[in-house]
Amino acid sequence: MTKRKTITLGLLAAALWLGADSSAATLEEEKESYEQQAEEKLQQSQELQSRINTVSEEKRVIDAELDEAMAFYQEMQGELDAINARIEENEAILAEKQADYEQKNYALGARVRDIYINGQISYLDVLFGADDFQDLMTRMDLLKRVIKRDYNLVQAVLAEKAEIEKAQTALEEDRAAQEPLVEKARTAKDVMLRKQRKRQELLDKMENDKAVYDQQYNELMAASKQIEQMILASAYQASMPAGSGGAMIWPLGGPITSEFGWRTHPIFGSARFHSGIDIGGDYGLPIHAAQAGVVTHAGWISGYGNTVIIDHGGGISSLYGHNQSLAVGEGQSVSQGEVIAYCGSTGNSTGPHCHFEVRENGSPVSPYGYL
């Protein structure tokens, strides 16, 4: 059973136990009890609010740290993007140099194969075979070119191999550097996200608990108010001479289907304070003014449906609810017994009847003291 149900059922049980002959002293004790419980709930709510403020400040700090962690993560991600870009660039360079290397290596291999097949020509044979000085110079120039070309080819192949190895090493270093950066950024972000989540869950729980305390406080204070109204009604009835009747007449002839005071609501099923009496009737039966006065309201009121309120002076007013239609307007003076409405079932109602209230200075009292 929830605390809310416990409070409501407790109030209902108290009302039933008190009965019509409960003393004002007993009612006052009940009222003080509810107010004391309400004060405890208010204190619990205030203490919880203090904790909420503390945790909210902690969460604010964590939020700031999370912002820093996210900034760090984004910075690391930017570096990772740069590494990935360099990796892609190195892979392209590597592919290009590999192709160039293969081309030069093939040319060198062809040169070596040609020497192997045809034999190495003696440079001296070439020089001494010249016919004249000019031919000698030409042959020397050709030999220098051949020698230089062979040398450059070998050096180029060696250089390309060194570049490829360097690019491969840089590529592996970049890949090795990528893993700890990813892990470091992810860890920092995840840690702060977990802290933020825990603080938010704690805040949500405390705010929910505070809402429960506040609701219980409001219900207890409402119960105290109802007890106060019952005390006022009891005090009024106690002041009436024994056997004396009121000055009002019954607005409708019919059985009482619901009494004044605490009851189980026929629609909502919960224990609620019934601020008047319900007089059973059929659709369209005339509703009469219980006493002469001035109509202060003639229209729709949520829950009451089509409603008439009459001011009788001296702080006394009467209310007639759930009417099918109205026969008077606001500001109209009515005499006792005059038809003011017709019985119906508008608003929160389960069947045709007249909900009749008497109020003293706005607060509902038992109508029996006036009828």
Domain extents in the chain: 1-239, 244-369
Q: In 10 A of CB 43, how many CB atoms?
A: 12
- How far apart CA 147 and CA 202 sit, in angstroms, is 83
- How far apart CA 40 and CA 35 sit, in angstroms, is 9
Equal fold, 1-239 vs 244-369: no
Cβ contact 306:324 at 8 Å: yes
| Bridge partner residues of 334 (DSSP) | 293
Query: Does pLDDT of 123 surpass 50?
Result: no
Mean pLDDT of 99-127: 59
Query: Does pLDDT of 336 surpass 80?
Result: yes
Query: Does pLDDT of 115 surpass 80?
Result: no
- The per-residue pLDDT for 298 is 95
Burial of 228 (0-12, 13-18, 19+ CB in 10 A): middle
- The per-residue pLDDT for 15 is 45
Query: Does pLDDT of 136 surpass 70?
Result: no
DSSP letter at 330?
A: T
Burial of 293 (0-12, 13-18, 19+ CB in 10 A): buried
Backbone angles phi, psi at 73, to 5 degrees: -60, -45
Cβ contact 253:286 at 8 Å: no
- The per-residue pLDDT for 133 is 62
- The per-residue pLDDT for 318 is 94
Own/partner long-range contacts of 103-106 (Cβ < 8 Å, ≥24 apart): 104/153, 104/156, 104/157, 104/160, 105/157
- How far apart CA 52 and CA 212 sit, in angstroms, is 14
- How far apart CA 75 and CA 135 sit, in angstroms, is 70
**Higher pLDDT pick, 147 / 61:** 61
- The per-residue pLDDT for 244 is 36
Mean pLDDT of 37-60: 81
pLDDT band of residue 304 (cuts 50, 70, 90) is confident
* 1-239: CATH architecture: Orthogonal Bundle (1.10)
Whole-prediction pTM value?
Answer: 0.37
Encode pLDDT of 225-281 as tens digits. 665 655 555 554 444 443 334 589 999 998 888 888 775 544 444 456 788 999 999
Query: Does pLDDT of 102 surpass 80?
Result: no
- The per-residue pLDDT for 6 is 43
Fold of 244-369: Glucose Permease (Domain IIA) (2.70.70)
**Higher pLDDT pick, 367 / 168:** 367
